[in-house]
Structure 1
């Protein structure tokens, strides 16, 4: 009896489960035109059509597929005995518009984020498209190197359904029909040292990590701040942090590094802490210990006494010390090597038998491979001469910097890529790829204007213009055509200069020039103390390289003057001196030094009149964050054998390249003092760099050396300078002289 009852129950359940109904009509409770095609496709796939027999199982399976379309919060149905099927849809909220708001410094442009979003508006939100858009935004950040972002929205999912909530973010209000994608970008706020590592100097560790923590960024003066994006931990920056930590000897293999979220009310984005936790590196297992001797093994580049000096600060001989003292001594040795340029030196400290031993491995330079571009025109002997790192030498970072400066200082290259290649445990090779400048030339010059008397206004312009063609044939040559025009004085000058470096592969540089000037009314020449209507100059200037950036300089010039009175004056002049020039660019220097000292002299060919003198000039450029500070000091003096003769040499100051806002040749004399200082702030980079500048110029040219200070001319003010491809630098601004009279200045090229 029980067996028959069980079979009856099974058949009854099966009958209900697989009961079928002839479908008479299908209806929907709401308009689903936006998804009708997809819904009908699903129903057809499950045989749910008018005139067909259907079962509950088919309907449930079909509704599950319809729910996966993403448009609906829920889908249910009613099927009556007459075969009428009503499908009941609960659509997701309708999205009239979508926006993107970023809590942070917009690491990715909003336009790019919007382009990664694929949503249709004015219909119910498709959750599949929504999830895809969220993933696309995440992938976009990861593609650009940023992994620490949270992405969410004003879409709320609860047990009662899905809703869009009105929200306010970044001081903007959004209604409940607008979907707002909110991206929270996490900057790196600060460093937190825990465990034994808390004994270390946190600020020193932060400095050596080299990352711009947001906490420190907030406390800096706004002009000293780098771009705010530098405070975000990109993949590359995290790798740089890891590399820096590997160079700091305090950390051991079990040092734990992680990022923790923290809350800082003053920031609108998210903040992370870089947490370092664990034990200090162990040189001695038991403390304290006594060190009775210190030895260094393998050091070639730094003498023992210098190493002993930095070690003894923390490890005095014969006194008890602990593990941290030894680590500080180890750190000092490593710093000494690093500060001396030996950045790849490997140092291992050991303690045995009361002796502290530092095993030092100084890596050598291996193969140096120079790879020029396929379109490069610069001859290999010139490129080779610019490389300062040599195989077999102990590697030094300064030599690498000198190589970069040598390439960029020629003006022939827009960049040089230097890649280290590990060729052995203590051998580092390098691949050097110089990128030649695509600029055809440089345009430099200056223009000033003064109100002319009894003449047209345009005759008040005085200008100088120089066009340079750099390395056009690849043999290190520079061709220069220059002109100077002053219609008010009927003065016109044109000149051609030629310069070549590493002549025929030697250490000799050679310059030559020819210049011709016409001035109908006569032009005053400070080096002869007379007015001349015509002037012809032929010059040659050999320069010999004695070591990196250092040269013996010389020049020889023939000068022919046609004086206003009609007489001809012929002068042979020359100079000999020393030059050191490590400026990183001849056109837009940011760092480096320049020093020149030379003796000058000249003699008339027709008699014994002569002059003899000496000049010295120094320049120093230094960059800090976005600032570049440049200074120049020039001194000169000359003795004239006969001040009443035609040959009477004089210095002059004034004009764009000495004292801005003043006239050219504003002062002349046998002694000169010129001082310039300029602070440039980088406003923009890229194809057309833009700098904001503030400057002070002082110049004095006097016959009496005691009047150099006090009787000179000065100018101070500010302006803008931008660099345009082909034309070079163009600057303009406004300044005041010693009488506080203001004037606009304009010019091409660098002032000094």
Structure 2
């Protein structure tokens, strides 16, 4: 035995000496066999050096199935036998995955990443790969506060994923006078402490446990807010500390700790005879002095001056001028604030492949040479997002704190799906006949920005028992001195009963693109009934729109106002002659992230001179729970409390509503009112749909209702 050890030592230390290996003997194997190892790493045979032996042994151990490897040499008939004593890792009879947390990543997706081999010794390489791919999966979803470990339990290897929630955010260090509440409010990071300190009702309607597991973007946003304030020096740091909290469901929580270090302008206290401002053009010195909260001939500490700088930054922010930076310096007995206001040097549009630049430029309200304004950024975002040209819109400035010129980047991802097909079934109370004759089938074919000119085409086909219609339209943005939209349309309606006369229609409309939310339009409309002697009716439509809604699909904030005024019977084409006006307004107010109010109002009136033009009141224009009406005057007011159940894919909203409206009948205004519950959703083949139950106060009964176009 001693001879074997000596030989081995000589082998491993004298790399220049060669030795003849005639056989390799693997010992200690229980589950695996020698053939399996040789298949993986090959054979070691013949005259080899110690380096080659060490490399071979390393390959064997690096297979990952073994917890220890001990080599030795034994004399053989020819040369030496290399004996490799191995200890296998425990055998995996089965494995299971356990997630401690709400399941930030779908458990099925994580299980698909597990590489552990059942019936084999645990392979640490495959285990490491499993853990790494799981971490990557969480990182792809934006989460980073995750621990992944494992252990054996009666032959079953249990993988434990610990998802950490954020319990609280703590500011330590030099924080005297710092408005921490304001900083956290701007950062908008949610903490589990907020959840447990809220009422059960607020939790139920507005909070999800997943909201308290921060993402990279949440932390980056907090760091961005901290960096926007001159108070903090570069030594300010953010880290996380595990903690335990009694009487909560979550096992794994952390505290975010912000260690604050102030910038150093001066030591001790100083009195200043003058407070001066340099570089400001948007606001006067007096306005900034008032905002700063400091005044001449007063004594201030370093921290108090830093807080004054913070207040100036906040003043600009509250007035929609973000990213303004402030530096302070002492000149003799004067305190000088250098203000770095941000002006737009250029607007860069990126990501366009087919869309012509002018199509985007028409929708951009951020102008070169003007101060960078948050309201203009939000308006531009709203216009681009609602255009349906793009799947994603990202607007961000390229700047440094002390720069005054800013490059604004608009990063766009063009919509992959430009053609849409929507089909469905609708119902309104028919003007005559049985109730079932109010059903109709609807098909809409549309294409948006297919060729990159911002154009849109649509064909609407409506097939009902009493009425059939087809309408086609094209809309194209055009670039004049003022960017405009040009819209043309043609339609045909066929009545199968005496409720109407077959009609063809032509329309044209030219409208301005939105400017600060406002747009205007004007255009002709011609309708002709297909009967002998009909001259047709020529009308002019004037239109006004104001739109600051934050989404075209599911608005939760903003305003919408529309006014349509029509004069019909022009230039002798007066089968009908009338004035018609329709005014509509909407207002959306968020309460919490998933709870918001919506208020809507509509009013319409027709004054007939020739013919009997009427307003059709149905669907979203009718008091919910009531059917189809035709009238010369109407109004409707509604208030809805909306709770978002699902925002992605198919948006789903439920809520409560109250409606009050009026319909003129025989010269009298008859009022109607209802209240109830509703469910709004956007179904791929039906579009926007609302269903619900309305209690009709006039009839004192409940009525089911259904209509399309709820948003």
- State the TM-score bracket (shorter-chain normalisation): 0.7 to 0.9
Offset of residue 145 of structure 1: 5.5
Aligned to 2:562: 596
Aligned: 1:430 with 2:427: no
Contact residue 278 and residue 337 of structure 2 kept, 8 A: yes
Match of 2:347 in 1: 368
Mapping 1:625-636, distance limit 5 Å: 625-627=593-595, 629-636=597-604
* Cα distance, 1:63 vs structure 2: 10
- The residue correspondences of 1:344-493 to structure 2 (distance < 5 A) are 344-371=323-350, 373-374=352-353, 376=354, 378-422=355-399, 425-437=403-415, 438-441=417-420, 443=422, 447-448=426-427, 458-462=436-440, 466-487=444-465, 490-493=466-469
Distance 1:497 1:677, change over 3 A: farther
Tell me the equivalent position of 1:178. Answer: 156
- Report the equivalent of 1:50: none
1:54-88 deviations in Å (ceiling 9; x for gaps):
xxxxx99999998887656678999999x999999
Match of 1:196 in 2: 174
Q: CA deviation at 1:672?
A: 2.9
CA distance in 1, matches of 2:623, 2:332: 69
1:286 to 248, 255, 268: 268
Alignment equivalent of 2:584, drawn from 596, 617, 623 = 617
Q: Which shows bigger deviation, 204-213 or 412-421? A: 412-421
SS at match of 1:344: coil
Secondary structure of the 1:122 match is coil
Q: Residues 705 and 497 from structure 1, CA distance in 2 versus in 1: closer, same or farther, beyond 3 angstroms?
A: farther
> Which residue number in structure 2 is paired with residue 276 of structure 1?
258
Which of residues 721, 728, 742 is equivalent to 2:681?
721
Q: Contact conserved, 2:538 with 2:574, CA < 8 A, in 1?
A: no
Map of 2:631 onto structure 1? 668
Alignment-derived partner of residue 542 in structure 1: 510
1:337 corresponds to which of 312, 316, 324: 316
Structure 2 residues not aligned, in runs of 5+: 9-22, 47-52
- Maintained 8 Å contact 1:719/1:732: yes
- What SS class does the counterpart of residue 420 from structure 1 fall into? strand
Helix, strand or coil for the counterpart of 1:717?
strand
Do structure 1's residue 252 and structure 2's residue 212 form an aligned pair? no
Q: Is the 8 A contact 2:165 2:213 kept in 1?
A: yes
- Assess, with a 3 A threshold, how the Cα gap between structure 1 residues 293 and 411 changes in structure 2: closer, same or farther: same
By how many angstroms is 1:700 displaced?
Answer: 2.0
The 1:747–1:310 alpha-carbon spacing in structure 2 relative to 1, beyond 3 Å, is: same
Cα distance change, pair 668–253 in 1 and its aligned pair in 2 (3 A): same
**Whole-Å separation in 1 of the counterparts to 2:682 and 2:92:** 47
Residue aligned with 1:250, SS: coil
Measured after TM superposition, the shift of residue 744 of structure 1 is 4.5
Give SS of 1:197's match.
coil
Is the 8 Å Cα contact of residues 539 and 557 (structure 1) preserved in structure 2?
yes
Counterpart for residue 280 of structure 2: 299
Q: Distance in 2 between matches of 1:16 and 1:609?
A: 114
Counterpart Cα distance in 2 of 1:611 and 1:275: 70
8 Å CA contact 2:536, 2:574 repeated in 1: no
**Structure 1 residue 325 displacement after superposition:** 3.7
Deviation string, structure 1 residues 462-504 (Cα, Å, up to 9, x no partner): 56665444345544443343355542xx333433344333366
Which of 689, 692, 700 lines up with 2:662 in the alignment?
Answer: 700
Kindly report the root-mean-square deviation, in angstroms, between the aligned alpha carbons of the 2 structures: 4.8
* Partner-residue secondary structure (3-state), 2:644: strand
Give me the TM-score of the superposition, normalised by structure 1.
0.75
8 Å Cα contact 1:501/1:510 also seen in 2? yes
Q: Tell me: CA distance 1:404–1:545, structure 2 relative to 1, closer, same or farther (3 Å).
A: closer
Shift in CA distance, 16/343, structure 1 to aligned 2, threshold 3 Å: closer
Equivalent-residue separation in structure 2 for 1:254 and 1:655 (angstroms): 61
Supply the distance in 2 between the matched residues of 1:85 and 1:470 (Cα, whole angstroms): 74
Q: Is the 8 A contact 1:99 1:181 kept in 2?
A: yes
Conserved 8 A contact 1:629-1:678: yes
Return the TM-score normalized by structure 2. Answer: 0.79
With 259-268 and 143-152 compared, the bigger mean Cα shift is at: 143-152
Structure 1 residues 713 and 535: alpha-carbon distance in aligned structure 2, compared to 1, 3 A threshold: farther
Tell me, yes or no, if the aligned pair for 1:652 and 1:668 is still in contact at 8 Å: yes
Matched residue SS, 2:164: strand
Cα offsets for 1:702-750 (capped at 9, x unmatched): 2699846xx12546321241242xx5724242222414644544444x3
Q: 1:466 to 1:147 in 2, by over 3 A?
A: closer
Does structure 2 conserve the Cα–Cα contact (< 8 Å) formed by 1:655 and 1:661? no
